[in-house]
Amino acid sequence: MEKPHKDILIERWFEKSDDAIKTAELNLEANLLTSALNRIYYGIFYVVMGLAEKHDFKTSKHAKLMGWFNKKFIYENKTFSPEIFEVYKLSFAHRQNSDYDAMYTPDLETATRLLADAKKFIEEVKKVI
């Protein structure tokens, strides 16, 4: 029996998330912190896109996706703790700073902690899908 289209898309978002996290690990090992922070955020973003696919929520806007996740899964359904949303927000902020602020200098400790937190975030989200 063939998988429904939605399941295939969710699986693909998970693959993209896993790839982003693996790339973040490699970047961290190579001390490429700007790239690591970018990939850490996208690891989170992609898994949330999988969650959005499951719930028929469509957007290409990062802020809109983040707002939907916060409203639906933190405040309304209380599926996740507010702390998990902090990981999402923090990874987004560091990605924004590292990608767009020429004066921002990422540090290894922050990137390492964010990577560990992102892995936990991704694991929690996958559990509810």
**Dihedral Cα 23, 29, 33, 34, nearest 10 deg:** -30
Specify the pLDDT at position 3: 66
Domain segments of the chain as ranges:
5-128
Residue 1 has pLDDT above 70, yes or no: no
Superfamily of chain region 5-128: Nucleotidyltransferases  domain 2 (1.20.120.330)
> What pTM value is reported for the model?
0.95
Q: What average pLDDT score do residues 82-104 get?
A: 97
Other CB atoms within 10 A of residue 40 CB = 32
Q: Which two tokens stand for residue 49?
A: 């896109």
| Residues 125/43, Cβ–Cβ less than 8 Å | no
